Amino acid sequence: MIFKRKNIKNKIQNDLDWKEKNEDYLNQLQKFLDSTDSIEKEDLKNKIIAQMLKCDNILTEAAQKEIQKYKLKLYNTEEKNT
């Protein structure tokens, strides 16, 4: 049972399809990057992009943890019912 949980946890953490295939997310990301093209100072543009990517990463990790909690809870509920 521990082995199954570990495999589920690893699969959830490595699975970003939900994000990478989200058209709304990709469109908004492209709009953001297009907007930064108008920033003339290259160092400022790079700092802004880097900061946004840090925020995006934090949000992604938080979402992954919530997905993991939900799936583990679902797994435990299904396990009790069998």
Contact, 2 vs 43, CB < 8 A?
A: no
* pTM for this prediction: 0.67
* 33-69 pLDDT per residue, tens: 999 999 999 999 999 999 999 999 999 999 999 988 9
pLDDT of residue 6: 54
Return contacts of 75-81, CB within 8 angstroms, 24+ apart: 75/4, 75/5, 75/8, 79/1
Averaged pLDDT, 11-31: 83
